[in-house]
Amino acid sequence: MKPLFFLTILCLPFIGNTQNKLVGIGQWRGHYDNHSVQQVVKGDVLYAASPYQIIGMDANMHKTWIDKTTGLHESAIQQLTWDPILNQLIIGYTNSNIDILKGDQVFNLNAIQLTNLYSNKKINSIQVKQNWAFVATNFGIVIIDLLKHEIKDTWYPNNNQQAALTYNIAIAKDSIYAITENGLWCSPYQNNWILPNAWKNQTSYNGYGLKNIIVQNDKLYAYNQHDVYQIPSTTPITSFTNATIFKIDSSTKGLNISIQYASKKGAVVNLNNNGTLTTLVDSTQLISPLETALTEAQLWIADSSQGLFLVDKQKQWIPLGGPKATITGQMSTNANQLIAPFGNTNSGYAVLNEDGWTNFSQISNLNLPIINASGISKLDESYWLSTNTGILHIFKDSNKVESFVPNQQKGTYQSMQLDQNNAVWVLQDQQGIVRQVNNNWNSIPIPNNLFNNGLSQFVLNHQGQAWVIAPINQGIYVYQSKDIFNTETWKQLTTQSANGNLPSMHVTSVASDLSGSIWVGTDNGIGILNCGDVTNSPCNAYLPIVSNNGFNGYLFQREIVHCIAVDGANRKWIGTNNGAWLLSEDGLEMIAHFTKENSPLPSDTVLQISIVPTSGEVFFNTVNQLVSYRGTATEGKQTQSKIQIFPNPIPPSYNGTVAIRGLIENALVKITDLTGKLLFQTQALGGQAIWNGRTYEGKKIATGIYLVFVRDLAGNENSVGKIVIADGY
């Protein structure tokens, strides 16, 4: 029995979060869609697992969100099992990695993930017996010592020591049973061990298609999609001819069986000890029940379509936080909130503010349609939403809804923006632009000589120009209004050196930065445009050249640039198939690069980036859910007034950074003692400065009170704040 190579890593202390709370600079938050719950397990608290996050919930319904942003090593959860002896949670992932969460520590066992002995290493189930965990995989049974957090051995449920796809195991009295691709196998089991070549194939079950096995009250049960057997009988004790069995769990009153009918509705039934069936929750409430758990008199049900269901004195769905569906629409932010349309096939939208996530599928008895894009009014923080058939205007305080159909032309309403004067611009597919000024809508059609089928994304600049990604690899269309220039026109930009000089005709993203430059992302890197009146002046992209390992090349050459966002310091956040990148203002310096390997990003494919200007929180919408990172730059103020310092006072043993927010843009910040001695000086990134609590020489600052001075670009200097350092910092 050949053991796998094992590796044990002790992580940083694990901290579950409260999800709603803004994290510190350099920290992450997960914003996962938890409408699908795959597993529910009773441990020291109740644990419910969605595909990307675990929610712990105590008896008072206080929730803790556990995911890659809070210490786990992966984000795609496959299996969840509780160890009742050592009080620890075992987490298996889709890539075959394993975490063990014990108290505030996470132990990682990546041996199965790293081994090259087997091509398919999927973890199918995890069972715990005394101090061992039995991990059923697509090649056999891996044994984990739960006390030492190491892999002890690998067992193959056959007598030829060859890999065998194993679905599940069960230990009953002095025998271990394994459901494999080759049927049901059994071996004597004593003192936590088995004898070599002692496996026996229970041939009477060959051809029965058994997929799972369970022990209840020392009785052994096995089941396939429709039938339940009590071993060793080959006659079913119950069958479901019109339903599929998803999972059977042990209960105090027999077996809880999660099923789904052919109608795609589900139920949980109880097979009690006298062999009769009782429906616990019927198909009017469940769709895809996958697993059940009992806590005292409460029955918890994991439903992969709807979430977590509680059967207590009353039956109810338990909200688990986060948006209720995957975000595919265009997000937007202001100082207080982020609005995220679900888009695609899901109606409604979600809003994140200091109170957490709120989902909206209905406003004032109006069932919301599928929403493609969003915008927030600068005047009253009302919402503008584009749909397939029109525009919605929602006043969030009164829930008043206005509906507009700007024209009767065919074409869905896509990307939208509000300009500096709060006028609403919306891109209409197959048509062009619709614009609302002073409650009047105007249509601005694309010229007949330009392709218009497939319009989806554009950006405005401060010159009254709309930069539209042209469909079917046609470069960029520029619409120039008369807001600034004398001539209204449409112009197409291409890869021609005298007409755009774009790095590729396949444009994938576009953004306007704080200096008015237009950044164009393509499937072959980035071009930067600085154009005036496009009717009179050439408009050609500058292609930045960067150095990489001694070689020069164009910025993101041969990369697909999915999105570009600009932070308060005019730095550029870039989303690609290889993670998210933070670039300097001119794009020539790489400041940070986040991937799923070095950060909590759930995927390296980043499709959308949105930034909250006042906090500097950067939201990354990937192909596998939404996460955010607290950046170092915020939007600068026009005039210096009251600032915010966090944390303040600085508590003992605090080792993080201190954020000084609310600064005038790019201000010079000085920190002195009470005598005026300069201890540290830095320049704000937009409207925020960062201090590590040390002097220029790297010495920790002593307990006391310190002054913050701010100098603006004109040379005016004011004392604007105090920092209190508590004893022990």
State residue 699's pLDDT score: 86
**Letter for the amino acid at 345?**
T
What is the percent of the chain where pLDDT is above 90? 76
Q: Which two tokens stand for residue 493?
A: 């930009």
Domain locations along the chain: 7-22+35-133, 644-725
State residue 1's pLDDT score: 44
Instruction: Please state, in angstroms and rounded to a whole number, the distance separating the CA atoms of residues 501 and 498.
Output: 7
**Long-range contacts (CB closer than 8 Å, 24 or more residues apart) made by 238-244:** 238/271, 238/275, 238/277, 243/267
Domain 644-725, what architecture? Sandwich (2.60)
Residue given tokens 């889709």 in the structure block: 94
Question: 37-63 pLDDT, tens per residue?
Answer: 999 999 999 999 999 999 999 999 999
Q: Which residues pair with 230 in a beta bridge?
A: 221
Using the predicted structure, report yes or no on whether residue 550 has a pLDDT greater than 70. Answer: no
pTM (two decimals) = 0.89
Q: Is the dihedral of CA 237, 81, 600, 141 positive or negative?
A: negative
State residue 650's pLDDT score: 85
What does DSSP assign to residue 523?
T
Instruction: Please state, in angstroms and rounded to a whole number, the distance separating the CA atoms of residues 48 and 702.
Output: 45
What distance lies between CA 379 and its chain's CA centroid?
31
Q: Which one, of 610, 716, 710, 723, lies nearest residue 662 by Cα? A: 710
Q: Which one, of 253, 248, 64, 282, lies nearest residue 170 by Cα? A: 248
Question: 221-269 pLDDT, tens per residue?
Answer: 999 999 999 999 999 999 999 999 999 999 888 999 999 999 999 999 9
Instruction: Please state, in angstroms and rounded to a whole number, the distance separating the CA atoms of residues 168 and 186.
Output: 12
Instruction: Please state, in angstroms and rounded to a whole number, the distance separating the CA atoms of residues 321 and 30.
Output: 10
What does DSSP assign to residue 362?
E
State residue 712's pLDDT score: 78
Instruction: Please state, in angstroms and rounded to a whole number, the distance separating the CA atoms of residues 685 and 683.
Output: 7
Instruction: Please state, in angstroms and rounded to a whole number, the distance separating the CA atoms of residues 608 and 425.
Output: 20
How large is the average pLDDT for residues 186-201? 89
Using the predicted structure, report yes or no on whether residue 3 has a pLDDT greater than 80. Answer: no
Instruction: Please state, in angstroms and rounded to a whole number, the distance separating the CA atoms of residues 320 and 296.
Output: 21
Instruction: Please state, in angstroms and rounded to a whole number, the distance separating the CA atoms of residues 388 and 386.
Output: 7
How large is the average pLDDT for residues 273-300? 92
**Three-state secondary-structure class, residue 142:** strand
Q: Which one, of 431, 386, 385, 388, lies nearest residue 412 by Cα? A: 388
Identify the band that residue 643 occupies on the pLDDT scale cut at 50, 70 and 90: confident
